[in-house]
Amino acid sequence: MITSLIQIGNSRGIRIPKPLLNESALEGEVELLVKKGEIRIVPVPKKMKRTKDVLLLSEQTLVTDWMNPEEDIAWESLQ
């Protein structure tokens, strides 16, 4: 099936015909996977936690990244 990208607010999207949605059995949340030249729409695994999408940094990582002399020099030059 061929379709066109349409303007949706500041984004672009596609309309998915009902027969295709019925056949795919997609409902609720979906995940978009991007590979060179294609976008795949797959169901979100039921056990997937939403916090996985948020990068949580450990205290040790923050210390390593924030205690960086090069960053201090860069910030001083902006003041």
Taking only the tens place, the pLDDT of each residue in 16-46 is 999 999 999 898 889 889 988 899 999 987 7
- Is 1 within the bounds of a domain? no
Name the more confident of 56 and 17. Answer: 17
Domain range enclosing 10: 6-78
Q: What is the pTM of this model?
A: 0.51
To which H or E segment does residue 76 belong?
Answer: helix 69-78
Euclidean distance between CA atoms 73 and 70, whole angstroms: 5
Residue 51 lies in a domain: yes
- The answer to whether residue 62 scores a pLDDT higher than 80 is no
Q: How many structural domains comprise the chain?
A: 1
Residue 38 lies in a domain: yes
59, part of any domain: yes
* 71 falls within a domain: yes
DSSP 60: H
Q: Which residue has the tokens 């609720």?
A: 28
Question: What was the pLDDT predicted at 28?
Answer: 87
Q: Tell me, what CATH number does 34's domain have?
A: 2.10.260
User: Is the model's pLDDT at 8 over the cut of 70?
Assistant: yes
Tell me whether residue 20 is in a domain: yes
- Top pLDDT among 75 and 1 is at 1
Task: Report yes or no on 70 lying in a domain.
Answer: yes
